[in-house]
Structure 1
């Protein structure tokens, strides 16, 4: 199986121009491995949690809304939370009706964001797969346009624009660590770099969707546990992203829930950065020693989401 020829660097660059007025070029924070008790070396953080709606998902949402004809019935999406918030935000900005189906595991922070952007929020079962089935029924009944969280060309093209920004801001990058759920994020980024940068997938042990796909040679159903279940636990990775990942990404690294929690705490203690569990998962691989850089290797970590109520200001 070869990578989809529609997910190319040229098309990602075209998508970036289309969505540029609607998204933020998020900053990079330069640090040192020694700041975290690791062997000294360059370490960069791509602060994508500063994107509109609190995660990278706004890129794919705007890519879809601006690249397709939206019917009068508006759009519908199934989401663990971040994709739904992004679609709701993009729909609000563009004046389009939106209905978002989420599972019961969705965090209150994400549900509040979706409602706050004016979308209709519907609880559709216990897991993402349940919400997806409910959203598909809504498409059949109402004629709304579905925006898939990770298995749709426009979604991957939008997420791939992060790779474009990273390469512009860190031209000498060697390695990028990326958290994986359904795979739209790493699929788009890997399609941009096409092997020029080592792209390392990181997943929770409780939701090893890409790891099991690598083992089987194709997407397969995987467990959907972990504290990051509302962002990194679909039933399986996308069909579009898998050939891209197999061609241009490293075999996934698995981290435990405790390692994810520790990564969240360290990011807060050392950098005063608050992330949700899924947003800290890529850094967990580095901090826990699951990914060990070589001497002189320039590593970047994508911090992809911060929709959480972990910190409250009273």
Structure 2
């Protein structure tokens, strides 16, 4: 399935209601609002998709006894472990042996069975796939699934309810799960979606240019969260809608936007979360809102080491 509908998002909203934290919005400057989704459970928007994914499987009776498994030490792994605990489901998370201790500890804190395999992500992923094959556990992907994307899209109606006269939603793009969900909901309401990628992490931008999903090299300060080598077909289809604008931002602007969120608002966020805001940097940004346009920027995640923000 390469097309996500607003109905998918509405169904997801019904499943996540009462389980995820409704998004908080804050006015930034005239016409610009910040959607503070870094305050979500587990520190990122991914809690929405993870909960929708598992709840939908439970609903349809396709949640196996062996529970769910994922290979991710990042936001997706945390969200999967959190949602599994919420639903009383076993979660087995595979990571490379050199994964940061703090991530392993957080995953275990959510009740996940963490298995450390190999020295690279690819080895952990292979072990995860083997585990799913041999135990029947449900394999969860970080972003490449319609239920995951639909869950992320539940942000849009929440933002619309809170921001008067909303015209445009600005999101960062990695593999495209958040973007595909947001774009589906935004298009339904006649809103524009601005898809923002780091200049050297431009899987969506290149796919649009080629008219198909292509592999790109990944080299950005935001690559830990946005470093997908290719976008999902779902994201490409969503991006081909005329309501979508795709823009790129240089790493220097991402670093500056992240620092500004700390200096001006005391928000410690990951580089991925500052990427969307970087597109609106006054004077240098790659997206300039029209006169009177009301824009909401999704600040998507806070799983970062704030040590480099505060200075000595």
Same fold, TM exceeding 0.5? yes
Quote the Cα distance in structure 2 between the aligned partners of 1:279 and 1:107: 20
- Say if 1:286 and 1:292, in contact at 8 Å, map to a contact too: yes
> Counterparts in 2 of 1:117-132, with a 5 A limit?
117-123=110-116, 131-132=124-125
- When residues 222 and 51 of structure 1 are mapped into structure 2, their CA distance, relative to the original with a 3 A threshold, is same
- Say if 1:46 and 1:301, in contact at 8 Å, map to a contact too: yes
For residue 240 of structure 1, give the secondary structure of its aligned residue in structure 2.
helix
For residue 298 of structure 2, give the secondary structure of its aligned residue in structure 1.
strand
> In structure 2, what is the equivalent of residue 35 of structure 1?
none
Would you say how many aligned residue pairs link Structure 1 and Structure 2? 303
Tell me whether 1:291 sits opposite 2:280 in the alignment.
no
Quote the Cα distance in structure 1 between the aligned partners of 2:123 and 2:157: 34
For residue 174 of structure 2, give the secondary structure of its aligned residue in structure 1.
coil
What value does the CA root-mean-square deviation take over the aligned residues? 2.4
Quote the Cα distance in structure 2 between the aligned partners of 1:252 and 1:142: 41
Which one of 180, 197, 212 corresponds to residue 203 of structure 1?
197
Quote the Cα distance in structure 2 between the aligned partners of 1:85 and 1:239: 24
Tell me whether 1:64 sits opposite 2:53 in the alignment.
yes
> In structure 2, what is the equivalent of residue 193 of structure 1?
186
Quote the Cα distance in structure 2 between the aligned partners of 1:75 and 1:253: 35
- When residues 118 and 173 of structure 1 are mapped into structure 2, their CA distance, relative to the original with a 3 A threshold, is same
Q: Which moved more, 1:244-253 or 1:267-276?
A: 244-253
Tell me whether 1:300 sits opposite 2:296 in the alignment.
yes
- Say if 1:199 and 1:248, in contact at 8 Å, map to a contact too: no
- When residues 269 and 67 of structure 1 are mapped into structure 2, their CA distance, relative to the original with a 3 A threshold, is same
> In structure 2, what is the equivalent of residue 95 of structure 1?
88
> Cα offset for 1:115?
2.6
TM-score between both structures, scaled by the size of structure 1: 0.88
Quote the Cα distance in structure 2 between the aligned partners of 1:235 and 1:124: 22
Q: Which moved more, 1:276-285 or 1:8-17?
A: 8-17
Quote the Cα distance in structure 2 between the aligned partners of 1:206 and 1:124: 29
> In structure 2, what is the equivalent of residue 36 of structure 1?
none
Quote the Cα distance in structure 1 between the aligned partners of 2:116 and 2:15: 32
TM-score between both structures, scaled by the size of structure 2: 0.89
Note the residue ranges of structure 2 that are not aligned, 5 or more in a row.
none
